[in-house]
A and B are shown apart, each in its own frame.
Chain A
Amino acid sequence: MTPLHLIRNFSIVAHIDHGKSTLSDRLIQITGGLTEREMTEQVLDSMDIERERGITIKAQTVRLDYKAKDGQSYVLNLMDTPGHVDFAYEVSRSLAACEGALLVVDASQGVEAQTLANVYQALDNNLEIVPVLNKIDLPAAEPERVKAQIEEVIGLDASQALAISAKTGINIEAVLEAIVTRLPPPKEGDPNKPLKALLVDAWYDAYMGVVVLVRVIDGVFRRGQRVKMMANGSVYGVDRLGVFRPKAQDVESLGPGEIGFFTAAIKEVADARVGDTITDEKRGITTPLPGFRPVQPVVFCGLFPVDAAKFEDLRAAMGRLRLNDASFSFEMETSAALGFGFRCGFLGLLHLEIIQERLTREFDLDLIATAPSVVYHINMNDGSVLELHNPADMPDPVHIREIEEPWIKATILTPDEHLGAILKLCQDRRGMQRDLSYVGNRAMVVYDLPLNEVVFDFYDRLKSVSKGYASFDYAIEAYRPGELVKMSILVNDEPVDALSMLVHRGRAEHRGRAMCEKLKELIPQHLFKIPIQAAIGGRVIARETISALRKDVTAKCYGGDISRKRKLLDKQKEGKKKMRQFGRVEIPQEAFIAALKMDGD
């Protein structure tokens, strides 16, 4: 056990690419956690996708031993937090396990939307913050301007900001000293009290099983101890207890203020819920830590195997992913257009993309994804409230009193030359401006936006209208009533369930027209004319027609042409497999998602 005053628990808050991972690696290296040879680039981001996208999905922690200039040996726990808004709850729990944070800002880029969101979370958790200007070695670095920006935008005193380069190693010692001198030790913690520990995160490890990351508040966590998860009352015997340096190392006990991991006979990650309080089975506490919240999926979409025979494989793959990701949910769904598949729930859009990508990449599955949908609250005339995850399940409108939809608070930072286009985008998406302010030549806009306008391609559009310069972050705010209607798409006079969606009445015609135009491009010509319609109830609001194919025949076909024809046939048969038969019409699978991408909105 380490005395409280020699412990510093901290995290690093930064925007993507501002150097969080590089700084983490430097700190690990300089304190001897890993030898030069063992350092692979960015140790903490261990998943392929995390590394590729430069984001962290699972919170990880590393314990560093640091002998400070005051001669004392400190234990520094560096908590790597998920860096994306979809994982905001996980971030908040990780931050709750710390007393301080390093705010890392790229000295040439300045503050971005994501920096803000995370730094506000850190402030909400009463963390002490040390600003760090990274990439000071770059010719484009403007430390003074960025300092002013930190003071203006965030309201933090930046006069003592550290100017460093994680990449070249400039001033890394100063960072370690600042952690010790400027960040506080854990405030309280009594080893004699009953065990009280925060469940920070949990994940599945192929060798260790479910690994649970904990921060001890009071009492002592010991190997062999029987502990209770307070949210559901389940009890486990602690098999293994340890810390990451960053390699797992067993310890006998963890005292107040310390961060470490334990394993027990926990079957799946869903049994270890982030934010839960862990206590002793017998000598337990009665009041859990505040802030626990069960995971709520925010975005839903249907995932179907391209090859219907792969349904069971998909189920197995989802089960495997769910082992490690309790925030991802799925249940079976049947679609007239797409056959058997699953309705899946995600924390947000990035989460959706990550899961989809992992299913494709790690499990080699070809998937059709339907339009992402948010969760609507349907207030029925009889007073009951339905949660609608799938537009196909929408009840008859005559029984509906009101539909509520989730709204977000979106924060966007952009160079001012793109501001006009961004404001237009937000207005077009039913946004309501809350705030607009300038910091130098950068504008910060805050908008209330309905999530269902953001859920699909808002981020792509934002990138495109700002040439990639705008940064975006959001938080779910509240449910508000909206004039929402179910828009159906009819292909050749038959409704295609997988393409139906809830839209705002005022946006329906625009979206309907865009969908029909897009489908006209995506559905190949058939031997007959195909009408494509968007309809609300029985009323058609947009219509396109795919003209009939006039001819498809090879003029000359003799002995030397046969092999070539057969190769072409193989290709066409492959292409046909990627089609979904709907009535007499074949719809290419990519149409289900591509139809919703609206260019030039």
Chain B
Amino acid sequence: MTLGIYIHWPFCRRICPYCDFNVRRWRGEEEAGLLGAICADIAEHGRRLGPQSLHSVHFGGGTPSMLTPQAIARILDCVTGTFGLEDAVEIGLEANPEDAGALPELVGAGINRLSLGVQALDDAALGQLGRGHTAYAALEAIDVAARTGARVSVDLIHSRPGQTLAAWEAELRRALRLEIEHLSAYQLTIEAGTPFAKAAGSGRLLPQDTEQAAQFYELTQALCAEAGFCGYEISNHAKGESARARHNLLYWRGDDWLGIGPGAHGRIALAGQRTATIAWRGLKDYIDAVAQAGIGWESTDALAAEAEGEEMLLMGLRLAEGVDVQRVERLLRRPLSSTGLMQSGLVHAVRPGRLALTLPGRLFADRIAVQLLASEAPVAL
């Protein structure tokens, strides 16, 4: 079984107005307690799961590039003390351009893949997104990252309010010429409860409509492909197979991972059953839970075969390599209703037994998943 670890570091210098992750403003004081809890949590997971080798370790957040090299080393020590590492293990970290100076030392501490939260290469847009860096600083950070020898990926956000297709084309072309092997290009999503949602609700912010957003998406696909970045997932593009985000592939392929840190979700085999774990969201709750129970879980939910099958389809469908139809159907105990979608050219068999979205189908991934899973779909009359 392929296994990874996700470690959530919830602190940020500032909270971006579009973000709905479990994040908090950093005030410096809680760091030590959380570090200890994370290490203890990893060790306890190891005790419960038994000896295993890791395919990947991923530091997400929040802003894990704010961790000191010592803290990274301490966590990685704990990881290697608990689990084995596969030869080609990916140890990734999400970094903010503001932390460019710390990147060489972080790589020194064991990180081998850096994912930079660039978001835009336009200062006005960066301001609108509430980011604390300039486009220039981001380019510098990419340069620094590239020289560390780590694999480098960049995150960008498109379909921003007021953004034109032409402006995005220029921005994206520029990004694709940089020394990076991977690009995540996300459509801006207005998440409920965020300052952006409030602004959109009151009319102060005008999100792009779905027609425009579709055009942004189509342009992105075309430009990335042209530059040799393969769109291996709905929003992710890599220069060749080895450049793909191995840790993220765990999620999309239905593999296992531990969810460590406040609010982290995991999927692991407990007593032979795939189980969804969710750690306490609150910082203090998490630390207390680890202190008392040894592990940070707020809830564990043994997934029924059907739920497992649904998850496998929902996630696997996002990949260009597609999803193993037989495996999904075995879990669901019913066939997927794909004939109509095939005829419409929205899905195709990438190779026998593997179902994937076609390029036009990608724009409708969510709708198609529902369609495939609607077992009681009434027969057309």
Enumerate chain A interface residues (CB-CB to B < 8 A): 308, 336-337, 339, 527, 549-560, 562-563, 565-566, 569, 572-573, 576-577, 579-584
Contacts and interface: CB of A to CB of B under 8 A. Distances in A.
B17 to A, nearest CB: 16
Interface of B: 6, 21, 186-189, 210-211, 213-214, 217, 234-235, 248, 250-251, 257, 259, 263-267, 276, 278, 307, 310-311, 314-315, 318, 340, 344, 346, 362-367, 369-370, 373-374, 376-381
A577 B318 contact: no
A229 B310 CA distance: 64
Contacts of A569: 310, 314, 369-370, 373
11 contacts: A336-B381, A527-B367, A551-B214, A559-B251, A562-B267, A562-B276, A576-B370, A576-B377, A581-B377, A581-B378, A581-B380
B251 A562 contact: yes
B378 A562 contact: no
Given A560-B263, A565-B314, A569-B314, A555 B186 contact: yes
Nearest to B235: A555
B366 A308 contact: no
Contact of A583 (B235, B251, B380): B380
A552 B364 contact: yes
Contacts of B235: 555-556
A555 B234 contact: yes
B248 A558 contact: yes
A560 B264 contact: yes
B311 A566 contact: yes
B276 A563 contact: yes
B279 to A, nearest CB: 10
B364 A576 contact: no
Contacts of B314: 557, 562, 565-566, 569
A554 B117 CA distance: 19
A159 to B, nearest CB: 64
A555 B187 contact: yes
A63 to B, nearest CB: 55
Nearest to A585: B380
B203 to A, nearest CB: 22
Nearest to A335: B381
A409 to B, nearest CB: 42
A550 B214 contact: yes
A577 B378 CA distance: 8
Contacts of B189: 554-556
A550 B217 CA distance: 11
B231 to A, nearest CB: 13
Contacts of B259: 559-560
B213 A551 contact: yes
A562 B381 contact: no
Contacts of A527: 344, 346, 364, 367
A337 B379 CA distance: 11
Contact of A573 (B248, B276, B374): B374
B234 to A, nearest CB: 6
Contacts of A583: 380-381
A339 B378 CA distance: 10
Contacts of B378: 308, 339, 579-581
Nearest to B216: A551
A30 to B, nearest CB: 59
Contacts of A576: 370, 374, 377
B365 A554 contact: yes
A300 B377 CA distance: 29
Contacts of A560: 6, 21, 259, 263-265
The 8 A-B residue pairs with the shortest CB-CB distance, nearest first, are A551-B363, A552-B367, A550-B214, A553-B365, A555-B187, A581-B378, A555-B186, A551-B214
A551 B381 contact: no
Interface centre among A337, A549, A550 (most CB of B within 10 A): A550
Contacts of B380: 581-584
B113 to A, nearest CB: 15
B370 A573 contact: yes
B251 A552 contact: no
Contact of B265 (A555, A559, A573): A559
A101 B62 CA distance: 79
Contacts of A584: 340, 380
Nearest to A581: B378
Given A555-B187, A557-B318, A569-B373, A562 B363 contact: no
B367 A549 contact: yes
A582 B380 CA distance: 6
B367 A563 contact: no
A560 B267 CA distance: 10
Contacts of A573: 370, 373-374
Contacts of B234: 553-555, 557
A451 B318 CA distance: 55
B362 A553 contact: yes
A558 B251 contact: yes
A339 B367 CA distance: 25
A370 to B, nearest CB: 16
Nearest to B376: A577
Given A558-B251, A559-B266, A553 B374 contact: no
B265 A562 contact: yes
A498 to B, nearest CB: 12
A580 B263 CA distance: 39
A550 B362 contact: no
A558 B245 CA distance: 12
A581 B373 contact: no
A565 B307 CA distance: 11
A551 B235 CA distance: 14
B332 to A, nearest CB: 12
Contacts of B213: 550-551
A497 B266 CA distance: 50
Nearest to B234: A553
Given A559-B251, A562-B251, A576-B370, A551 B263 contact: no
Given A560-B259, A560-B265, A573-B370, 13 more contacts: A549-B367, A551-B217, A552-B366, A553-B365, A554-B366, A555-B186, A556-B186, A557-B234, A559-B251, A563-B278, A569-B370, A581-B378, A584-B340
Nearest to B215: A550
A124 to B, nearest CB: 51
Contacts of B369: 569
A572 B365 CA distance: 14
Contacts of A557: 234, 251, 314-315, 318
A580 B374 CA distance: 13
A95 B290 CA distance: 79
A378 B278 CA distance: 67
A556 to B, nearest CB: 6
A87 to B, nearest CB: 38
Contacts of A580: 378
Contacts of A336: 381
B31 to A, nearest CB: 22
A308 B378 CA distance: 9
Nearest to A575: B370
Contacts of A337: 381
A559 B265 CA distance: 6
A549 B211 CA distance: 9
Contacts of B263: 560
